[in-house]
Each structure stands twice: as C-alpha cells, then as structure tokens.
Amino acid sequence: MLKSLEALLSFTKIEKAIFENDIFEENTGDSVTFCKMLKTLSGPELNEFLSAFPQYYPLDEYRKEVEATSPVSNEEQAILDIELVEVAGRIRQKRMDLEENTIKVKKQIIQRREGLKAEFNHYYKVISDQSAEIQVPPVQKDVEGGAQVVKLPEVDTAIFTESDIFNCLNNRKSRRSYTDEALLLSELSFLLWATQGVQKKAPDNRFSLRTVPSGGARQPFETYLAVHNVEGLKPGIYRYLPFDHEIVFLFTVDDLKEKVSNAAFEQSFVGNCAVTFIWSVIPYRTEWRYTLDSRKIILQDSGHLCQNLYIACEAISCGTCAIGAYDQKLFDELLQLDGVDEFVVYVAPVGKARKSIQVIQLPDHELKKFCGVYWSESQLLKRTILFKEGHLYYWRSAESESRLECIGTDKFNFMEADATLTFSADEENLRMTFHGEGEPVIEFTRVEI
C-alpha cells in the first residue's frame, strides 16, 4: 500500500477525526487530494480502506466524492502520495498541539467549577446597584416607533391535543424532526406565553411575575423568533413583547433557515422547523441585584424557559430540542445584538412533531416468527401479533388493530402507525417489550403461537 494511505490508516481515533474535520469541513483542498488518492484503489481495496478509516464522515459521501473524481495517472499518483504524507504529518502535529492544549484546559475546567457555586457571600461585600438605589432596569426592551406589531391571540387551551400533565411530562423528549406544517398563530401564542407569559406586573413594567420563575424576578431574557413557517406571519426575525402579549417584526434575513442552521454548527433541524426560538440575555437585569452571582442565576433561569417550551410543545403535538451547541458570534450577528450588553444564551427549534416511521424490510418468514399471543403478568394483559399482507399487526381488541412499523435501526423495534408505540422483541426468549409514549413499559412473554 502507498505510504500516504498507510500513514492515514495508522492514525489514532483523534487523528482521524481531525483529518476528516480538516479536509472536509475546512475547505483546505486536501479532500480533493485524498479522493484522488482513493480513486487509485480497486473496489475491494477502497471498501477495506473506507471501513477501516472513517469516523464521522458517512461512507456513502466518500464513495460519491471518489466516484465524481476523474481517473489518476501513475505520475499524478506519486505526487499525490507525497502531498498526502505531508498532510498526515500536519495532522499528527495538530494532534500533539491539541494534547498540549488539553492539559492546560483541564486546569481551566476545574477552575470553571467555581462558576457553578453560589457566591452569595460576595453579596454582602459588594454594593449592588439595587442597594445603591439605582433605578431597576426595565424587563422588556422598548419597541422602536413605527415598528410592525402583531397582537397574539389570547391563549386558548382548546388547542391542546394533550392536556394531561402526566402525559406531557412523560412524553417529553428532544424532537429533531418536524413536518412541513405551518405553526398556527394560536400555537405560537401559547408557546410564547408558556415560556415568558406575564402573570402579574408593576404599572411601570419594571417588575413582572411570569410563567417561569427567575432569581429575584429579574427576568433577564428577551425572546427572539426566527419565523420560517407560521400562519399569517412573513418570515423574518421577531421579538416577543410579554407585557402586551404581542410580537414585533424586526427585520427579514435572506436565507434565514440556512443561516440559523449554520449558526447552530450545521444542525440542520435548528432552521428546518416552523419557528426557531432564540433567547438572548440582558445580564444587567440580574447583575443589578445579584452582582457576582448573576452568571449562575441567569443560567439556572434559562433552563426554565426551555423546559416550559418542551412541556408546552407536548401539549400541542409540537416538538422542540434545546440547543446549546451554537456559534455565539453568528447568532448575535443574526439578531444584530452587541454581544456585550445583550447576547444569545439558548436556542430551540419548534415544529409539528414528526412520527419517525419507516417500514421494516424483513422477509416474510422473519416477520412471521413474531406472531403469537403474548402475556404480561405485571399488567394482566394479552396481546396478539398477527402477520397480514407482508406486515406485522398488533391486535388489541376486537375493534383495534394497528400496523407495527420499524423505528430506528434496531430490526426488532417497531412503531404503531397511529400511536407511537414501540416494541422490541427478544426472539430467542420469546419476550416482547412494549413501550408506548405516555404508557409504561410492559413486558410480554409469548404463551401461544
């Protein structure tokens, strides 16, 4: 094997990751060299190389790139080999630099633990602006004159598809795939209220109690919305005005979805949704009272926002996912924030929840193995699994029969088409586990075939 390919194969896991990130993400041009080099391998050699090599980059993507590469002459191959050996050397150096830096960062990690601790002792050593009787800052940003304001419909629980709090909590999960359906304004209204809605306020709007708690009721956040697909709203950036339960249109952004996804480190679902919630913080609102403790309190506060969003989404068949991995600069720029007195702290895409159903492709005789009557001692239930028209069916009672379909990659993991019920079967032990969203896990044992 050529020297360069040998060098790449002997990479450590970390080196492979650096390599893949460098050549494919950073547009160094080395990906072309690499793919040209792969082009010189025969089919089986290429497969062997690829299966030993990639860590993050999907195999099919490599294959596509190699296919698109034009054939390489022997002379060119020799040059490529030298170039790629140099690349390998550079990657090794990067790994060593990384290791050196990691030793320093490990110390910082320990130091940063301090930021998790309460610092209320300082409270008595520092004169806070509150103690100095400096006027309390407002808890909602002003609206510029002439701005386009949209009154939100009053929150109406008639929109709930799930109003049982137990089910909302039990079903909550991070949902990263949404349908193309638009969010209704009534739904957006509910989600904004659930995350920042005002319950009580002082007449001067400098104090409010809301649907989320906040240290000292300082409510340091502003809610921005990247609206992509909300009924009746043109796409663009909006800001919530909790005191009047309105949103103000701020500006449009070209290619908004792409920019949002890009700012979330290419997590495409962050822009591929109906609306992206983007929370900024105005730290002074909290610092005015809590001085050095503010950082911890603000971060504690921010968790409440997103948790309320999760639960509220479950009530209206929507989904969300907390996003902490985002590019600070890009999001601040997107919202035109100064990054000092106000900056983004948390992001959450929202859309109608997609049921991730894929039909399992197993031969009939494999599927038939699961047919039978299953008994759950713990629940005193019998369930029948039938095979009909190439699919497994789950038979509950005389009136109810649901097709079981596969989710994920586990071949014995199925989902009921209309109710997000998953089941996994342990073929050897003739046991099945059913897990419905909102239902407890139930273990079944086969009692009859």
- Among positions 322, 357, 373, 430, the unique one binding ligand FMN when judged by CB under 6 A: 322
Helix (H) or strand (E) holding 46: helix 43-52
- For residue 344, state whether it binds ligand FMN (rule: CB under 6 A): no
- For residue 38, state whether it binds ligand FMN (rule: CB under 6 A): no
The contacts of residue 244 (CB under 8 Å, 6+ apart) are: 149, 151
* Shortest distance in whole angstroms from residue 326 CB to ligand FMN: 7
Q: Which residues of 104-119 are buried (b: 16+ CB within 10 A; e: fewer)?
A: eeeeeeeeeeeeeeeb
- For residue 321, state whether it binds ligand FMN (rule: CB under 6 A): yes
Q: What one-character DSSP code corresponds to residue 325?
A: -
Contact between 22 and 30 (Cβ < 8 Å): yes
* Shortest distance in whole angstroms from residue 173 CB to ligand FMN: 3
When the beta carbons of 7 and 297 are compared against ligand FMN, the nearer one is 297
Q: Which residues of 150-168 are buried (b: 16+ CB within 10 A; e: fewer)?
A: bebeebeeebeeeeeeeeb
Task: Name the segment binding ligand FMN (CB under 6 A); options: 227-235, 312-320, 323-331, 374-382.
Answer: 323-331
- For residues 256 to 275, the per-residue mask of contacts with ligand FMN, x marking binding by CB under 6 A and - elsewhere, is -----------x--------
8, 21, 32: which is closest to 56 by C-alpha? Answer: 21
- For residue 323, state whether it binds ligand FMN (rule: CB under 6 A): yes
When the beta carbons of 139 and 226 are compared against ligand FMN, the nearer one is 226
- For residue 324, state whether it binds ligand FMN (rule: CB under 6 A): yes
Task: Name the segment binding ligand FMN (CB under 6 A); options: 14-22, 217-225, 318-326, 422-430.
Answer: 318-326
- Among positions 96, 126, 134, 325, the unique one binding ligand FMN when judged by CB under 6 A: 325
Q: Which residue has the tokens 């929840």?
A: 353
- For residues 167 to 196, the per-residue mask of contacts with ligand FMN, x marking binding by CB under 6 A and - elsewhere, is ------xx-x--------------------
Site for ligand FMN (CB under 6 A): how many residues?
9
DSSP string, 61-124: HHHHHHHTSPP--HHHHHHHHHHHHHHHHHHHHHHHHHHHHHHHHHHHHHHHGGGGS--HHHHT
Q: Cα(22)–Cα(87) distance, rounded to whole angstroms?
A: 10
| Binding stretches for ligand FMN (CB under 6 A) | 173-174, 176, 267, 321-325
